[in-house]
Amino acid sequence: MFENIGEDAVKDILKKHPLGIGQPENVANACIFLLSDASKWVTGSNLVVAGGYSAH
């Protein structure tokens, strides 16, 4: 992903993701939770899986 952009752009993107750049497993784990009995009382909510991006 970072191969075609400059070093400054890479630093800017990384700064916006406090938990780092995500992996497919990060989204998969959220899906596993929502499919499990552990989420049976979760209703009408948005689960943001963004590595802290939306916190700024």
* Domain extent for 26: 7-55
Q: Cα dist. 46→19, 32, 34, 49 in Å?
A: 19, 15, 11, 9
pLDDT in tens, the chain (56 residues): 889 999 999 999 999 888 989 999 999 999 999 999 999 999 989 999 998 888 86
CA atoms of 32 and 16, how far apart (whole Å): 26
Q: What is the pLDDT of residue 54?
A: 84
Overall number of domains in the chain: 1
**In-domain check, residue 2:** no
Q: What is the pLDDT of residue 19?
A: 92
